[in-house]
Amino acid sequence: MTTVTRHDEANTMTIPFTKILVNQCYQTRSGEVRRVISITPTGDVIFIAYPSDGGAAAGEEEQTTGALFAEAAVEEVPCPT
């Protein structure tokens, strides 16, 4: 008997917005790593994304709502150096 394991995005746990911290990094479902630069008074998250292939070249600062950021984040990870 062969067992096949399949990644099911619907069952992937996300991180609650209240647990998102500045100067921490979070991996998304797609494998991208995002470093949180700041959280605005309105709850938007400003972050820098690193490529999912493990590259260290960071992109430009991006901004999204806290809810969308938390929905995409699946785990806290070490930040690229």
Q: Where are the domains of the chain?
A: 9-77
The span from the CA of 53 to the CA of 62, in Å, is: 19
pLDDT, tens digit, 9 for 90 and up, residues 14-70: 888 889 999 999 999 988 999 999 999 999 999 999 977 766 677 889 999 999 999
This model's pTM is above 0.95: no
Chain segment 49-62, per-residue pLDDT in tens: 997 776 667 788 99
